[in-house]
Chains A and B, each alone.
Chain A
Amino acid sequence: MISVTRVATAAVAFIGLVGLSLGCGKKEAPPAEAAANASAAPVAAAGPVTLQGSGASFPAPLYSRWFREFGDKNKDVRVNYQSTGSGAGIKAFIAGQTDFGASDAAMTDDEIKEAKGNVILLPMTAGNIVLAYNLEGVSELKLSRDAYAGIFLGTIKKWNDPKIAASNPGAKLPKLDISVVHRSDGSGTTFVFTQHLAAISDKWKSGPGVGKSVEWPAGVGGAKNDGVAAQIHQTPGAIGYIEYAFAASTKQPSALLENKAGKFVAPSLKGSASALAAVELPPDMRAWVTDPAGDDSYPIVTYTWILAHKKYDDKAKSAALKSVLKWSLTDGQKLSESLFYVPLPDAVASNVLKAVDTIE
């Protein structure tokens, strides 16, 4: 009996100690925090300004490169960018959790209203969306507008379908099922791609429609760009839409697509640049290049935006953000091509620079 009681006393004593130390910790915590705040405040005023941003994953590699290089040159500004996805980025920005957001699908009118209009949309770079495929022995695949709309609508089921064969006379197309791979998560990439499909196909427009996620008539879903890329790479007969950068860096072949002018164009930065040049940027900077004209234009291309407030309460922050954005729009654009992003056309860049100047 005694030994049991002893153990119990020991246990109680031990828990008491833990409790005491916990209690002490709690009591001490506020002064410690206060001290940290007190010491941090003057440093922040004199030292680095930290900007928090989150959003689109598609331009994330370029953004992180920009912000790192800018940070190396300007020790007083630090930018943290989290690639959380466009929708999450918009939500965090509206909720005031971040200083700026980023989105491939810009912002809808409702979302701008939710942010009380205190928002300015800045196109920062642009990119292609490509149809990557996995077909052994087919190094060049041309897809007409009917063909790729049909594939994603699920009406073209085999690779040797006459609609595909018609534009690929020389190729040996196997009698293989087409496995469509799409994004399983909501995504700006899906938004841009479905917007393009809706522009070229009435059946798509009245069927699945346009959105960050839609009811896919065919195929399997992979998570994020890398998930889709991995699935295409793994599956013979697969085709799916991914960012150009992912296809280019993994050397996955991608199809030549028929553009508005009826020409087959391989995805390239030049093709996107001419596609972007064909579109006038409206005052609110929300320009969708759903189906660009021009012989050399690659058909699926999009801007991607940074969302900033028109007015910041913190002067240091707005000044820092302006300098980051200006640098990105000038010197930063030179880095775009090496990471497979499309540099903004000069006219667009100067327009955006003017918009950056209006930030207060």
Chain B
Amino acid sequence: MADTGMKQTAAGPDLSEAFRSPVSRPPSAWQKNFDSGFKYVAHAFGAGVVLLLAAVVFEVMRHAKTAIADYGLGFLTSSTWDANRAQFGILAEILGTLYTSVLALCIAGFLGVTIALVLSQGFVHRRVELVMKNVIELLAAIPSVVYGLWGIFVLVPLVRGPAGWLHEHFGWVPFFSTRLSGPGILPASLVLSIMILPTVTAISREAMAAVPKRLAAAAYGLGATRWEVIFKVTLPTAVGGIFGALVLGFGRALGETMALAMLVGNANVFGLSLFSPGNTLAALLANHFPEAGAVEVGALMYAALVLMLITLTVNALGSFIMLRTTRELKGLG
């Protein structure tokens, strides 16, 4: 503001042409047109994004129309996928999608929030903080296929031993009731959790960093210890943002395709056992789309629509919660 004030007084007394600030001139016609032109272009692009999404939804619905009419709600409650007999149902895929995503979220949620805590509360040196933050965000840049291959060649052999032991000794627990043959729910969920870790970590770190320092300072002033500040002040204040991070991570997990198609086992069954193969909606689409005939394409589009609906619901919920919490925080700042 000081800078602005000085310039204004300087422009005041000397009105000669040479000293007049270019800003004080009224905008030329070109500038005006350009401004409004830019406004329209920006509006057009904004509307374009919405239209694009609408076009995608419309196209998917157009192809799914006959399948929706033919299979109705029974599509959502049966579990066969048989292109030869034109019998399609995606119950196993819906449950598999939710199951793997929830498991991934439990793991990534715990890890991600913990890491965010370490990175935002001054536990480590600034530089280490920066390096760790970037390394975790780098995880998001690894292609899905690489995660899938890593899962097949590294993770599956690694978990086979412990999984076999659990099945032998605790086979009566529904989660361990089958033998891990290779790909299955557990390896898929583990890889998925690593894939959504950057999302969860980055957003919950932001949420924790956004907690006003004066809150923590006040708590310290009242004699609180570091742990008390973290658990009674920082986390409760940031909880909305953390929850939003989890929901967005969940949304990402739902739509993840390639790594899951390689690791989930692609069997149209659903069981509680972590070691049994399953299937997810995105994997189903990836596997069947390239070779599908007209009828199957319709059914796949219907499945895509269901996946879009689930993801949309979850993401809308996440954004809503984020919005609510940032509004609350503004009052505190």
Contacts and interface: CB of A to CB of B under 8 A. Distances in A.
Interface of A: 1-3, 5-6, 9, 12, 15-16, 19, 84-88, 177, 179, 181, 184-187, 208-216, 219-223, 227, 230-231, 234-235, 237-238
Contacts of A219: 267, 277
B183 A220 contact: yes
Given A185-B288, A234-B157, A177 B265 contact: no
Contacts of B291: 85-88, 185-187, 212-213
B267 A221 contact: yes
A213 B83 contact: yes
Interface in B20-42: 21, 23, 31, 34-35, 38, 41
Contact of A220 (B38, B41, B277): B277
14 contacts: A2-B7, A12-B34, A84-B290, A85-B290, A185-B287, A186-B291, A187-B291, A208-B82, A215-B81, A220-B181, A221-B265, A221-B277, A231-B182, A234-B152
A62 to B, nearest CB: 21
A184 B266 contact: yes
Contacts of B35: 12
Nearest to A191: B291
Nearest to B284: A184
Interface in B138-159: 152-153, 156-157
Contacts of A208: 82, 84
Given A179-B182, A220-B277, A2 B287 contact: no
A185 B279 CA distance: 13
A212 B288 CA distance: 10
Given A3-B3, A86-B291, A214 B84 contact: yes
B319 interface: no
Contacts of B266: 184, 220-223
B4 interface: yes
A87 B83 CA distance: 13
Specify which of A2, A212, A220 lies most central, judged by the most chain B CB atoms within 10 Å of its CB. Answer: A220
Contacts of B202: none
Contacts of A12: 31, 34-35, 38
B25 to A, nearest CB: 11
Contacts, number: 112
A235 B164 CA distance: 12
Nearest to A211: B84
A88 B262 CA distance: 20
A348 B195 CA distance: 52
Interface residues of B, number: 40
Interface string B108-130: 00000000000000000000000
B179 interface: yes
Interface in B73-120: 80-85
Contacts of B249: none
Contacts of B38: 12, 15-16
A238 B182 CA distance: 9
A220 B84 contact: no
A77 to B, nearest CB: 28
A179 B181 contact: yes
A348 B66 CA distance: 44
B267 A216 contact: yes
B292 A186 contact: yes
B268 interface: yes
Contacts of B152: 230-231, 234
Q: Which 4 A-B pairs have the closest CB atoms?
A: A186-B291, A221-B266, A87-B291, A184-B266
A2 B153 contact: no
A343 B202 CA distance: 58
B265 A215 contact: no
B287 A223 contact: yes
Nearest to A181: B182
Contacts of B83: 186, 211-214
B261 interface: yes
A235 B160 CA distance: 9
Interface in B205-262: 261-262
Given A2-B23, A3-B4, 16 more contacts: A1-B4, A2-B7, A6-B23, A12-B35, A87-B291, A88-B291, A184-B283, A209-B84, A209-B85, A211-B84, A213-B291, A219-B277, A220-B267, A222-B183, A231-B183, A235-B181
Contacts of A1: 4
Given A2-B21, A186-B292, A237 B181 contact: yes
A1 B8 CA distance: 10
Contacts of B265: 220-221
B182 A215 contact: no
B28 to A, nearest CB: 11
A184 B290 contact: no
B153 A234 contact: yes
A234 B179 contact: no
Given A2-B21, A215-B81, A230-B153, A185 B182 contact: no
Nearest to A176: B179
A19 B23 CA distance: 23
Contacts of B277: 219-221
Contact of A235 (B41, B182, B292): B182
B23 A16 contact: no
Contact of B182 (A6, A187, A213, A220): A220
Nearest to A231: B182
A331 B262 CA distance: 39
B184 interface: yes
Nearest to B292: A186
B292 A238 contact: no
A235 B287 CA distance: 21
Contact of B287 (A9, A177, A179, A221): A221
Contacts of A3: 3-4
B277 to A, nearest CB: 4
A235 B156 CA distance: 9
B181 A16 contact: no
A282 to B, nearest CB: 24
Contacts of A186: 83, 287-288, 290-292
B3 to A, nearest CB: 7
Contacts of A16: 34, 38
Contacts of A223: 261-262, 266, 287
